[in-house]
Amino acid sequence: MICTAHILAHKINNFLTSQALAHCNMELPQINQVHRLLIAFLLFLLATLVLSFPFEPPGNVRQWHMTSDVKEVAGKSYDYIIVGGGTCGCPLAATLSEKFSVLLVERGGSPYGNPLVIERRNYGIPLLETDKYMSVAQSFISQDGVGNVRGRVLGGSSAINGGFYSRASEEFVCRAGWDKKLVKEAYEWVESKVVFPPFYLSPWQSVAEFSILEAGVLPYNGFSLEHIKGTKISGSVFDEFGKRHTSADLLNAGNPKNLTVLINTTVKRILFHHNSYRNETRAKGISFMQSNSTLDEAHEAYIKEVQNSSSRGDVILAAGALGSPQLLLLSGIGPKEQLRRFNISLVRDIEGIGKGMQDNPCIAVLVDSKPQDRLPDPPQIAGITDDYKIIVEASILPLSSNSTRVNVAAKIAMPTSKGALHLNNTDPRLNPSVRFNYLASENDMEECVKMTKLLDRIARSKSIAFFLGESRQEKLTSADVDLRNFCKKNVRTIYHYHGGCTVGSVVDEHYKVYGLKGLRILDGSTFSESPGTNPMATLLMLGRYQGLKILSERNAVSDSNAKDKTK
């Protein structure tokens, strides 16, 4: 308790220093507003203290078994095999292991002990240090010509991302048809383990917050995990010691005796069994290889046989928006012409695989005129316009190991343009081809123009001018710039890409692949829209939520089997 109080006192000190910095630079017109905000924020901090926000020291002891020895797993059977130890895969594995044996397979290495992943001061550095097969971030360039990355490490993209945590809007949860109460419980489960309140708001985040308010994104909401209009401070997976908590930390909540985590292992394809008597095709296991090996290496693991096949476990793909459709195609599931082109024998023709790929278009403005050596600074605040269509965030991103630039970025929350994913080769470790068709629809182009005007107001704000000094402030546009053209040339990603195996097209509402038994998908590939806000929170929640659903489904099945027996 003394220790906690001490840490909190320390945090408040830091916070005050940062506010003071921001504050000193403000001139009179802002001062009233700043004062009110400051007081509101301090009250919030006090409330947090009193309510004692769940506080967990970092470095929970890991008890589950992690190995990179493929031979340890080869030939074995499990109730569930989860492909992809990412944002959604880890909470799912932890939850299913409460009652069943689970194998979680991840192509990347361990996040533990890797400063590129764990240290907040290295935010953004993994994106600069990519290689073809092993780096924790795997880069790809969409066919639109926009550079992008995917996580390749246990923890998935939650191990390389901005760590910004914000729940989906109520409308999103409603449209998804999820159980509101269970959704709340699942969010809270995640938040009690890997999400931290902003004990410390960095000087740049404070300034960005004021600049967004100055540009009229109101009201000011203080700290909130909810997706609400106005300007707010959200949660983060970085704790007060500057350490990142990836989704892999959620594995600590599972049953370590029934959880095997196989890392540095790439799944090559799903294995199927066709029962011609019943005319049904069931996923019976996976084929995999060491990620650093040659493509001819192949080992297998299986789904455990049970007497009653209707209560058997599943192979669950959680390989992300690029990984899951790619793996289905490599396994013979997908549009048949495409499979034929790569000589992959057809298991099932499902037209929707690889369709509906979307990325939220983003415009980012660098507001300082040249690189500095400030520390990288992940996003903590968000400005959400009153129609919920534009979301503004700010960060400091590294350009190299010793130079950074300060930026403000905005994304279109609900774009309508869609693209598609295709195989590019048959190596499961390499990227498929994907096109997002950024700004192809008139709606998206109009939103982009609006978004750019808003960013321009923010970039010209007094708050930012005071922070950087007028001469260092980069002005985005002059009045005569053609903003549509500007958008076309400058559109980029904010890394919230999704789709490829969407609900209703490839999977049903239980995330089961249509027409096949024993195969589910749970990750960003199932989203036909991003959850308005940044997707990580909702993907973490979804892993827990669907894990609980599967447990209760199977409880119901075993209860009815037990009843049958006693009859």
Ligand X SMILES: Cc1cc2nc3c(=O)[nH]c(=O)nc-3n(C[C@H](O)[C@H](O)[C@H](O)COP(=O)(O)OP(=O)(O)OC[C@H]3O[C@@H](n4cnc5c(N)ncnc54)[C@H](O)[C@@H]3O)c2cc1C
Annotated binding residues for FAD, written as ranges, equal 153, 267, 524
Q: Of 37, 15, 40, 14, which Cα lies nearest the Cα of 26?
A: 37
Asked if residue 357 lies in contact with residue 322, where contact means CB atoms within 8 angstroms, the answer is no
Can residue 395 be called a binding residue for ligand X (CB under 6 A)?
no
Segment near ligand NAG (CB under 6 A); pick from 285-293, 350-358, 451-459, 506-514: 285-293
Helix/strand/coil for 519: strand
Interaction pattern, residues 267-306, with ligand X; x per rule: CB under 6 A:
x---------------------------------------
How far is it, in rounded angstroms, from Cα 250 to Cα 262? 16
The β-bridge partners of 274 are 281
Between the alpha carbon of residue 483 and those of residues 291, 330, 405, 450, 489, the distances in Å are 45, 41, 23, 9, 10
Cα 32 to Cα 26: distance, rounded to the nearest angstrom = 10
**Is residue 373 at the binding interface for ligand NAG, with CB under 6 A as the rule?**
yes
Q: Mask: binding to ligand NAG, 318-357, rule CB under 6 A, as x and -?
A: ------------------------xx--------------
Q: Which of 91, 109, 111, 151 is in the footprint of ligand X by CB under 6 A?
A: 151
Nearer Cβ to ligand X (37/168): 168
Cβ-contact 8, 16 below 8 angstroms: no
List binders of ligand NAG among 221-240 (CB under 6 A): none
Number of residues binding to ligand NAG, judged by CB under 6 A: 31
CA 532 to chain centroid, in Å, comes to: 13
Q: How far apart are CA 23 and CA 466, in angstroms?
A: 10
3-state helix, strand, coil in the chain (%, to 5): 35, 25, 40
Asked if 161 and 86 count as a contact pair (C-beta separation under 8 A), the reply is: no
Q: Residue 463, interface with ligand NAG (CB under 6 A)? A: no
Segment interacting with ligand NAG, rule: CB under 6 A, options 159-167, 188-196, 253-261, 463-471: 253-261
Tell me: does residue 264 bind ligand NAG (CB under 6 A).
yes
Q: Closest distance between ligand NAG and the C-beta of residue 506, in Å?
A: 15
The answer to whether residue 402 forms part of the interface with ligand NAG (CB under 6 A) is yes
Chain position whose Cβ is nearest to ligand X: 86
What kind and span of H or E run contains 397? strand 390-400
Q: Which does 134 bind (CB under 5 to 8 A by kind): ligand X, ligand NAG, none?
A: ligand NAG
Euclidean distance between CA atoms 459 and 431, whole angstroms: 36
219 cis-preceded (ω within 30 degrees of 0):
yes
Per rule CB under 6 A, is residue 249 in the interface with ligand X? no
The answer to whether residue 325 forms part of the interface with ligand X (CB under 6 A) is: no
The reply on whether position 162 binds ligand X by CB under 6 A is: yes
User: CB 342 → ligand NAG: shortest distance, Å?
Assistant: 5
Segment near ligand NAG (CB under 6 A); pick from 252-260, 354-362, 410-418, 493-501: 252-260
CA-to-CA separations, 494 to 105, 491, 521, in angstroms, rounded: 27, 10, 23
Binding site listing: 153, 267, 524
Find the part of the chain contacting ligand X (CB under 6 A) among 17-25, 78-86, 275-283, 545-553: 78-86
**What's phi and psi for 203, nearest 5 deg?**
-55, -45
Q: Does 500 bind ligand NAG (CB under 6 A)?
A: no
For residue 483, give the amino acid letter. Answer: L
Identify which of 421, 429, 401 has the alpha carbon closest to the alpha carbon of residue 359: 421
The answer to whether 446 and 154 have CB atoms below 8 angstroms apart is: no
Which of ligand NAG, ligand X, none interacts with 189 (beta carbon under 5 to 8 A by kind)? none
Residues 305-324 that bind ligand X (CB under 6 A): 318-321, 323
Residues with active-site annotation: 496
Site for ligand X contains 144 (CB under 6 A): no
539 contacts which partner out of ligand NAG, ligand X, none, CB within 5 to 8 A by kind? ligand X
Decide if 187 contacts 537 (C-beta within 8 A). Answer: yes
Site string for ligand X, 109-138 (x = CB under 6 A): ------------------x-----------
Among residues 22, 81, 103, 160, the one that binds ligand X under rule CB under 6 A: 160
Torsion sign across C-alpha atoms 299, 303, 309, 315: negative
**In degrees rounded to 5, what are phi and psi of residue 288?**
-145, 165
Q: Smallest Cα–Cα separation from 507: which of 494, 496, 516, 498?
A: 516
Give the binding site for ligand NAG (CB under 6 A).
Answer: 68, 79, 100-101, 109, 134, 255, 257-258, 264, 279, 290, 292-293, 308, 310-311, 342-343, 371, 373, 402-403, 422, 424, 433, 515, 557, 560-561, 564
